[in-house]
Amino acid sequence: MPARRAPVEKPRNRLAEIILDEGSIARSTPDIEHERAVAIYDLIEENEFALPGRDDGPYALHLSIVDNRLVFDIRLENGDAAVMHILSLTPFRKIVKDYFLICESYFQAIRNSTPSQIEAIDMGRRGMHNEGSQLLMERLNGKVEIDFDTARRLFTLLSVLHWKG
Reported as a single tens digit per residue, the pLDDT across 31-51 is: 778 888 888 999 999 999 999
In a domain, 107, yes or no: yes
In a domain, 60, yes or no: yes
In a domain, 52, yes or no: yes
User: What's the 3-state SS for the chain?
Assistant: CCCCCCCCCCCCCCEEEEEECCCCCCCCCHHHHHHHHHHHHHHHHCCCEECCCCCCCCEEEEEEEECCEEEEEEEECCCCEEEEEEEECHHHHHHHHHHHHHHHHHHHHHHHCCHHHHHHHHHHHHHHHHHHHHHHHHHHCCCCEECHHHHHHHHHHHHHHHCCC
pLDDT digits (tens, 9 = 90+) for 98-131: 988 888 888 888 899 999 998 999 899 899 999 9
Q: Domain of residue 28: give its range.
A: 15-162
In a domain, 121, yes or no: yes
Q: How many domains does the chain have?
A: 1
In a domain, 151, yes or no: yes
In a domain, 10, yes or no: no
In a domain, 8, yes or no: no
In a domain, 135, yes or no: yes
* pLDDT-derived band at 165, boundaries 50, 70, 90: very low
